[in-house]
Structure 1
């Protein structure tokens, strides 16, 4: 059972992080996109954010089960650190992507500024995800 949970945990981490890399080339094309192409790019961003959110639920649930079955306490440094970063990333994600994508769909917006904000949010969120991934993989003794 533990091995399957590790597998589910790893796959959900891959599915949670991987699709964000598909968005990078779209960021370069987004400023000049019009009409249906703009909608397709924004729909892709929305899909990736939703996918990441839902696979994040699987990731957290499987992680909690792994903690429970494996006997890891909450005070384990890499677990505690990961949860601190996780809660910070949840607050960040709630404010970073969806409102910006919504504003890009509205007429009369400053597309350059919004694409720059979306780009900054994407790279910052990937950094946060890699910090969590690093904590999970390397399991550092933070204290």
Structure 2
């Protein structure tokens, strides 16, 4: 029963980590056409989404560790190793991709279109990283004997 509860928490935290970034895709289009006042509101949604993903990621990692400790998997299992590598990449990427770019919107002389393009690219890269991790966790491929 405890394992199933941990699995539920883990899956829910995955949804909270990935979901907001799909909402940001149409928001980027609105950001392009926005004036300074509404632009700030859209950027606040970006900040919230990144913060939500970050905190959901903490729950995701904690529940993942507990699932490995309580379940039949080891740290050498190929899909776990690959997920950890992708997770480290996504953490590094998340820290550098969004907050610094969002901060630049308030600086004078910044090219708004270039910043929006950078945000859009970052959203897609992050979604691909998260979906790759999700693929490893769902399919559990045996890439090597672990």
* TM-score, normalising length: structure 2: 0.95
Alignment partner of 1:7 is 2:1? no
Residue aligning to 2:25:
24
C-alpha deviation, 1:131, in angstroms: 0.1
Q: How many residues align?
A: 143
The aligned counterpart of 1:88 is: 89
Structure 1, gaps ≥5 residues long? none
1:4-34 residue CA offsets vs partner (Å, 9 max, x unmatched): 0000000010011011111111111112211
Higher mean Cα deviation, 42-51 or 21-30?
21-30
CA–CA distance in structure 2, aligned partners of residues 69 and 75 of structure 1: 15
In structure 2, distance between residues paired with 1:33 and 1:95: 24
Q: Equivalent residue of 2:105, what SS?
A: helix
| Residue of structure 2 equivalent to 1:137 | 138
Whole-angstrom distance in 1 between the partners of 2:108 and 2:143 = 48
Q: Cα distance, 1:71 vs. partner?
A: 3.8
Structure 2 unaligned segments of length 5 or more: list them. none
Moved over 3 A (4+): none
Deviation at 1:105, TM superposition (A): 2.3
Deviations along 1:97-132, whole A, 9 cap, x unmatched?
000000012232101111111100000100000000
**Is 45-54 or 14-23 further displaced after alignment?**
14-23
RMSD: 0.8
Q: Which residues in structure 2 correspond to 1:50-89 (within 5 Å)?
A: 50-89=51-90
- In 1: Cα distance, 2:70 partner to 2:121 partner: 38
- What is the TM-score of this pair, normalised by structure 1? 0.97
